[in-house]
Amino acid sequence: MARPGSLSHRLKRAATAPLVLLAALFIFLETFLWDELARLFGILSRLPLWARLERWIAGVPAWAALPLFLVPMLLLFPIKLAAIWLLARGHMLLGVQLLLAAKLGGTALAARLFMLLKPTLLTIPWFARGYAGLVRWRTRIFARLHEMAWWQAAQGLIGAVRLHLARWRAKPGIWSRLVQRMRRRRQNKTRR
């Protein structure tokens, strides 16, 4: 292992920086999609039949939780094959649309299932260890990203832009100033 501060250590960190950025971007997008799609899919739980199905899913034993969690992948596999077939036949737009729809639908279903099955899945020792490892990896990736100088500079710039926008919004806009002037002129005319 390279000593911190040595040339090989600095080269390794510089070479892995783009990979860290890509991993962080992937994790961010997947997490954002995961959370938002699970929330949207959760709207279905307002339906009585769907709510009953979700209660049943949340109550399945550990031995049934894992196969149930894998259902979205199995259901979407033929759809993804169809999308690849469309792409191979030259129907690019339709193939990409089908692939995106399958990805979004599968992610939404998997996210909702994971929300329902997480307590049960975490009772499976190897699943709990794998999940903890994934969370540790994600935390390390984001910690590494936050250490990078360009990330800190970007965060400073984003903070400055937000502050500028907040100040700009606090000022009366051109339309409100125009309305105020028109009101004053009208008041001045009525006084004469």
Q: Is residue 112 within 8 Å of 38, Cβ to Cβ?
A: yes
User: Which residues have CB under 8 Å from 101's CB, separation 6+?
Assistant: none
Residue 188 confidence (pLDDT): 78
Q: Residue 61 to residues 48, 66, 123, 128, 164: CA-CA distances in angstroms? A: 23, 9, 10, 15, 53
Structure tokens at 63: 């031995």
| Each residue's pLDDT tens digit, 132-188 | 998 898 888 878 878 878 778 878 888 888 888 777 767 766 667 777 777 888 777
Q: What is the pLDDT of residue 129?
A: 96
Distance (Å, whole) CA 173 – CA 112: 43
Q: What are phi and psi for residue 67, nearest 5 degrees?
A: -60, -35
* Separation of alpha carbons 145 and 158, rounded Å: 16
What is residue 107's predicted lDDT score, i.e. its pLDDT? 80
Name the phi and psi angles at 27, rounded to 5: -65, -45
Output the pLDDT for position 97: 92
Number of alpha carbons in the 13 Å side-chain half-sphere of residue 43: 7
* pLDDT one-digit tens code per residue, 69-107: 888 788 888 998 999 999 899 899 999 999 888 888 888
Q: What is the pLDDT of residues 14-45, one digit of tens each?
A: 667 677 767 777 777 777 777 777 777 778 88
CA angle 128, 61, 124 (to 5 degrees): 15
Average pLDDT for 51-55 = 89
Confidence bin at 125 (pLDDT 50/70/90): very high
